[in-house]
């Protein structure tokens, strides 16, 4: 049988709990970053009428659904 002091047991318990919380936090941040990158990639702003629309295709040139102008996919910047 393994003998362990109460202090060591408390430290081990805290290390396991904090390690699990850290892993959950890192996984949540990674998932949020991926979602944000996908959102920025899928939204397109028309250069003519400033209409913002969503397009999930990989095409670089898109037709604006409002004015019909060809629009080049660029990154959407946060204000
Ligand atoms: Zn447009």
| pLDDT 10s digits, 18-33 | 999 999 999 999 999 9
CA of 32 to the centre of ligand 1 (A): 30
The CA angle 70-71-74, to the nearest 5 degrees, is 160
Residue 37 has what pLDDT? 85
Q: Is the dihedral of CA 64, 69, 71, 76 positive or negative?
A: negative
CA of 45 to the centre of ligand 1 (A): 8
CA of 69 to the centre of ligand 1 (A): 6
Question: Based on the number of CB atoms within 10 Å of its own CB, is 47 exposed (0-12), middle (13-18) or buried (19 or more)?
Answer: middle
Share of the chain above pLDDT 70, in %: 94
Q: Give the chain's residues under pLDDT 50.
A: none
CA of 34 to the centre of ligand 1 (A): 27
Locate 9 and state its tokens: 């047991």
Residue 78 has what pLDDT? 63
CA of 68 to the centre of ligand 1 (A): 6
Q: Do 32 and 43 meet the contact criterion of CB atoms below 8 Å apart?
A: no
């Amino acid at each position: 049988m393994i003998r362990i002091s109460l202090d060591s047991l408390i430290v081990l318990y805290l290390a396991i709990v904090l390690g699990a919380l850290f892993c959950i936090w890192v996984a949540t941040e990674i998932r949020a970053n991926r979602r944000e990158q996908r959102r920025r990639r899928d939204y397109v702003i028309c250069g003519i009428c400033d209409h913002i629309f969503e397009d999930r295709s990989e095409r670089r040139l898109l037709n604006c659904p409002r004015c019909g102008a060809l629009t080049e996919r660029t990154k959407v910047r946060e204000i």
